[in-house]
Structure 1
């Protein structure tokens, strides 16, 4: 031991720390020249900021760790409905991508000293060490890391609950600088449970998938990655359920925009800027929230294409000043919100407007590029009725008597009942399923008879009106015939004779 300690002291004198560091550096470089692998460090904290790539790798490896790993780390994040698996400290696994094998290792070491920082750093230094062959360097740094980020985003959206945002404070910001408030969105509506014609549902689902997978298409054509849907139809036809089904189908958050809480166009732009990508921006009952009438029917409209709108009952169109009281959003501001330059400040957004009266909306708001797909939410069809029977009673088409089904199909189109009306009948009688179907048939017949009587009354009213007009014309002709008998009738008789004479002359000319 004494000889070893003496030799160590001699080496430290002959080879000072600077020389030893230089020798080790040269040896390390020589080893790298002959090594077939290259190494990449992905640390948890980059300076004072969190490294997003570290979080993405952690999520991506969680899908493989639960299958191949022997020692796992289990976590559950905020607003998450599932448990995430991850690599334990200093554990490793092998991944493959397009024939390229890479080695991941989760490296955790204690932090030596706490340096000065604006925020406290964790006691442990965490990171991932990625090892790959040098010949695969371009694939790993390019396509592979992009694939890791994309998969991590999918896992994050899948594990995280949908959020429903609202602008209860108008366009003003809270203490964190956000104008939106959010709550977890747990609406159970899906396209499978939506009472709608199956063919129409298939068209909508295909359109949504084309949009979600169309990033390269929108970039190639130079269009903003957004799409607009207009849902219109009578109340109770499932417009809100359709929005929830779209959000659950794509995994998007929902921003429920209340226009009556927004006072200026600038506030509307701020709200749009604070929305995230992969989201659905909804304005429900747009014809009721603001006075947005057709410009063709507005006799007092000016030549300007941008006019103000105000809440219903405020007395019509407001002033052009945004500093005045009341709601001073302009039509131009709303159009720019959906299709202007500010509408493309994010990506993968869907705009959904709902209305019960499409004829009240301005044509400029309905054109393609703003509302690309118009979806008519009509009364329940027979196909929609079968979906409702399956949802509420668990009945398939074979579980109901054929004669009863035929009666339901015959009366369905005449009844004009919404899915909400039919659902209420089924819910009240769901404990007795057979009774529920018969009660539904009676309700449909009652509604059909009422509609038939109403139609007959309307036809009778039109016939009576036509008869009244004919009676008035007959009275006028009778007065013209009786008028020569009264005083001054000679002049009228002479006028009639002259007209007859002209008619005779005209006939002679024709002959």
Structure 2
């Protein structure tokens, strides 16, 4: 035993001697060149080829990385793979468990046409003293794909396309949709993203939405044409995006419409709070960090920031020169770094709006006449949807939702529904107000609840006590709004208040005024 240890010590001494000799004989430059040569020889002689897929690609998130992560984490990939360790998690307020490939672990996928793909999940810490012109995550994440060289011509591109398609299906059917909001002051989360998210669980659908069936069909057809129109948009040279303007009184279902659109398409929602955005550059960065198959929403755009009509309030000559003819959103600030109307226009229909595909922009407002016409033109807001007061078809949908009515129930009555239909055509009552009456009276029985709705409508007729109270309240709100505005009330630059906004190509869904 003693002789064995003596021999090992002698061999280590000889190895150390030759290592020191090589260090003295070969300068660092030569050793570096030799190591590069050895790596190239190993690559040439190897039977496999390697591909790196990093999480951050330039200034935006690499969608292929997210697709690979979702694909490898799916139950289909896991069941057909060997090896690998999966990390289980359940997000806050989520109804399902998710699992993903652990850091620095490997997985073998045999599921694609009999080929074999080796995946490694590489996670490394970034150097503390590394400099970057933009905030980056502390960890550098990426996948390494190893396949046989002989399989590359037949496998690589079809396999990656398969991963993208499979990830898209999983995201739509199995994963919880997400509701994003931009962080205060543009701050980033630990992964370097400016958006914070929670699972999106709004139950609104087009079946439950209190809207005339014909109008719902028109909107659903337009959404379906958009989703299936990739080749059309490429052929015509248009960016694959679409804009919707939802306008009308409060309580008419604008937010429920957005939720129904997201549930219908299976898209995530990015709720953009403009009051938290300081500059045009920050707005562009937020846009770059949104994903495809998403709805970007700006609610109450007339209230969040000052979007005064440029015709009524032209900027001073110097400001007009600096801003390219656009007035500032934050009036009274000469700082060129502030958020401008020009920045918002480019956000919806400029070069930066084309940095992603398959996106929908939705603006909502209670006072469309206060919005600059440049934001309302086709190409930015392609379809204008007037969310009006409750109609009789919408009333029937609400009674189905809250009281369990069937279609035949509306025919078996002694004139109650005829009176209801007459009153709803004369009185302005929002779906939200009708819903509140039905919620409070739903335990009284179907007929009694309908009678309560009829009484509520009678109370809102002109001359009734409730009508006088509502009129007084509306006058007070208008007076408060006038005092709050820093500039005089804008004249109507478009005929939107009458539901008459015209948009080329049949891109308008509107409701005529009552009594027309």
Q: Which residue of 1 aligns with 2:297?
A: 282
Paired residues of 2:296 and 2:360 also in contact (CA < 8 A): yes
| Structure 1 residues 412 and 40, CA gap change in structure 2 (3 angstroms) | farther
Q: Summarize deviations over 1:463-503 as a string: whole Å, max 9, x none.
A: xxxxxxxxxxxxxxxxxxxxxxxxxxxxxxxxxxxxxxxxx
For the residue of structure 1 that corresponds to 2:292, the secondary structure is coil
Unaligned runs of 5+ in 1: 1-28, 30-38, 97-101, 110-114, 120-125, 311-316, 459-511
Q: Which residue of 1 aligns with 2:9?
A: none
CA distance in 1, matches of 2:457, 2:219: 28
TM-score calculated relative to the size of structure 1: 0.64
Q: Which residue of 2 aligns with 1:331?
A: 341
Paired residues of 1:380 and 1:418 also in contact (CA < 8 A): yes
Cα deviation for residue 289 of structure 1 reads: 1.3
Paired residues of 1:191 and 1:201 also in contact (CA < 8 A): yes
Which of 404, 417, 424 is matched with 2:429 structurally? 417
| Structure 1 residues 379 and 53, CA gap change in structure 2 (3 angstroms) | closer
Q: Summarize deviations over 1:44-96 as a string: whole Å, max 9, x none.
A: x989999777646546771896xx99xxx99865446446799xxxx999979
Q: Which residue of 1 aligns with 2:209?
A: 194
| Structure 1 residues 187 and 46, CA gap change in structure 2 (3 angstroms) | closer
| Structure 1 residues 107 and 137, CA gap change in structure 2 (3 angstroms) | closer
| Structure 1 residues 54 and 280, CA gap change in structure 2 (3 angstroms) | closer
CA distance in 2, matches of 1:405, 1:417: 16
Which of 445, 448, 453 is matched with 1:435 structurally? 448
For the residue of structure 2 that corresponds to 1:254, the secondary structure is strand
1:403-482 maps to which residues of 2 (within 5 A)?
A: 403-433=415-445, 434-450=447-463
Deviating more after overlay: 138-147 vs 355-364: 138-147
Deviating more after overlay: 340-349 vs 227-236: 340-349
CA RMSD of aligned residues (A): 4.4
Q: Which residue of 1 aligns with 2:404?
A: 394
Cα deviation for residue 259 of structure 1 reads: 1.3
For the residue of structure 2 that corresponds to 1:178, the secondary structure is coil
Q: Which residue of 1 aligns with 2:327?
A: 307
Which of 304, 326, 336 is matched with 1:322 structurally? 336
CA distance in 2, matches of 1:306, 1:199: 39
Q: Which residue of 2 aligns with 1:62?
A: 76
Cα deviation for residue 199 of structure 1 reads: 1.0
Q: Which residue of 1 aligns with 2:7?
A: none
Q: Which residue of 2 aligns with 1:211?
A: 226
Cα deviation for residue 171 of structure 1 reads: 2.3
Paired residues of 2:292 and 2:357 also in contact (CA < 8 A): yes
Q: Which residue of 2 aligns with 1:226?
A: 241
Cα deviation for residue 167 of structure 1 reads: 2.3
| Structure 1 residues 192 and 282, CA gap change in structure 2 (3 angstroms) | same
For the residue of structure 2 that corresponds to 1:229, the secondary structure is strand
| Structure 1 residues 142 and 270, CA gap change in structure 2 (3 angstroms) | closer
Cα deviation for residue 213 of structure 1 reads: 2.2
Cα deviation for residue 264 of structure 1 reads: 1.8
Cα deviation for residue 397 of structure 1 reads: 2.9
Paired residues of 1:164 and 1:182 also in contact (CA < 8 A): yes
Give the aligned length: 387
Paired residues of 1:42 and 1:54 also in contact (CA < 8 A): no
CA distance in 2, matches of 1:295, 1:151: 47
Paired residues of 2:115 and 2:155 also in contact (CA < 8 A): no
Q: Which residue of 2 aligns with 1:359?
A: 369
Tell me, yes or no, if structure 1 residue 380 matches structure 2 residue 390.
yes
Q: Summarize deviations over 1:160-208 as a string: whole Å, max 9, x none.
A: 2122222241323344422222222211111111100111111111111
Tell me, yes or no, if structure 1 residue 103 matches structure 2 residue 114.
yes
CA distance in 2, matches of 1:227, 1:346: 12
Cα deviation for residue 219 of structure 1 reads: 1.8
Q: Summarize deviations over 1:232-254 as a string: whole Å, max 9, x none.
A: 00010000111111111112221
CA distance in 1, matches of 2:428, 2:464: 8
CA distance in 1, matches of 2:72, 2:342: 45
Q: Summarize deviations over 1:22-49 as a string: whole Å, max 9, x none.
A: xxxxxxx9xxxxxxxxx99999x98999
TM-score calculated relative to the size of structure 2: 0.63
| Structure 1 residues 291 and 53, CA gap change in structure 2 (3 angstroms) | closer
For the residue of structure 1 that corresponds to 2:193, the secondary structure is coil
Structure exhibiting the larger radius of gyration computed from Cα positions? 1
Which of 222, 226, 243 is matched with 2:258 structurally? 243
Paired residues of 2:458 and 2:464 also in contact (CA < 8 A): no
Paired residues of 1:81 and 1:159 also in contact (CA < 8 A): no
For the residue of structure 2 that corresponds to 1:353, the secondary structure is strand
Q: Which residue of 2 aligns with 1:343?
A: 353
Paired residues of 1:104 and 1:128 also in contact (CA < 8 A): no
CA distance in 2, matches of 1:248, 1:175: 29
Cα deviation for residue 365 of structure 1 reads: 0.7
Cα deviation for residue 297 of structure 1 reads: 2.3
